[in-house]
Amino acid sequence: MSAPAFADWTRQVQHDVEGALDAFLPAATQVPHKLHEAMRYTTLGGGKRVRPLLAYAAGALFDADPAALARVASAVEMIHVYSLVHDDMPCMDDDALRRGKPTVHVAYDEATALLVGDTLQAQAFTVLAECATVPPARLLTMVRLLAQAAGSNGMCGGQAIDLDSVGLALTRDELERMHQLKTGAMLRVSVLLGALAGRDLTPLEVEALNAYSAAIGLAFQVVDDVLDATADSATLGKTAGKDAADNKPTYVSILGLAPSRDLAEQLRRDAHDALAPFGEQAQRLRELADLIVQRKA
């Protein structure tokens, strides 16, 4: 039987992940009600689910257990959503719109937003650690990789550099390093955890997946910068033009619009090349690289 079309596959994964997140999040009827309601408000019913899609695509390469993939996908999405909730707060990016609706600190209050982020991070590790279908030694590696990707040598470190870079003239290398941490680390760990949900990886397999992840991680941010400069808020589901308004260094501000688009296309080709060792089995990962570069929001 032939594989479903890419659009059908993405819709199915998004549907499955929505169901998994709904099951793994505390019910809004559970005390404390407002906290649990706000966690569900920000996590469910929105977003492209790029990280879960990457986890499922990598898992397909290594015959990953569906139950393990559901937990991996939910864990990486919870970490991602927590980072968005905190990023949007007044102490950081101070944004009022996310995924087409008011941000958590606007819909609720700042204290609740802070706790939502904290709790989603804790819940992510709970969900992953309770995976019973992965051998304990490999599961411990997966928990460690997720912690590293989310911490000061990953996403949080990249955000710290981003906040410290407002108004500064970064070099392209400095900008790339920031985004390898801020965005790339969590995209990479989504791929690796999806693969590890299937089996242990050889060094060559890890190298190929790392090269793919590095390319799509930078491509994701380059396209984000292009969209911030060219799309409107309704299309993006968040405030457009904010990078320029906040005087943040971006690929567009450093390279220009056309060269940034060219770079994104080169990174898409690099991602495809990195997957050569896996042959046709990596088709979903190739299609996701295309999606990341060709998206309009």
Q: What's 6-294's CATH class?
A: mainly alpha
pLDDT at position 100: 87
Name the more confident of 291 and 246: 291
Supply the DSSP symbol for 197.
T
Q: In the chain, what are the domain boundaries?
A: 6-294
CA distance 43 to 116: 10
**Is residue 40 scored above 60 in pLDDT?**
yes
* CA torsion, ordered 274, 278, 282, 288, to nearest 10 deg: -10
Q: pLDDT class for 248, splitting at 50, 70, 90?
A: confident
d(CA 122, CA 191): 21
What's the chain's length in residues? Answer: 297
240 has a pLDDT exceeding 70? no
Above 80 in pLDDT, residue 242? no
Report which DSSP code applies to 184: I
- Cis peptide leading into residue 32 (ω within 30°): yes
pLDDT digits (tens, 9 = 90+) for 166-207: 888 889 999 999 999 999 999 999 999 999 999 999 999 999
What is the pLDDT averaged over residues 154-176? 92
Q: Let me know the angle formed at the C-alpha of 231 by 226 and 232, rounded to the nearest 5 degrees.
A: 145
Q: What is the DSSP string of 79-93?
A: HHHHHHHHHTSTTTT
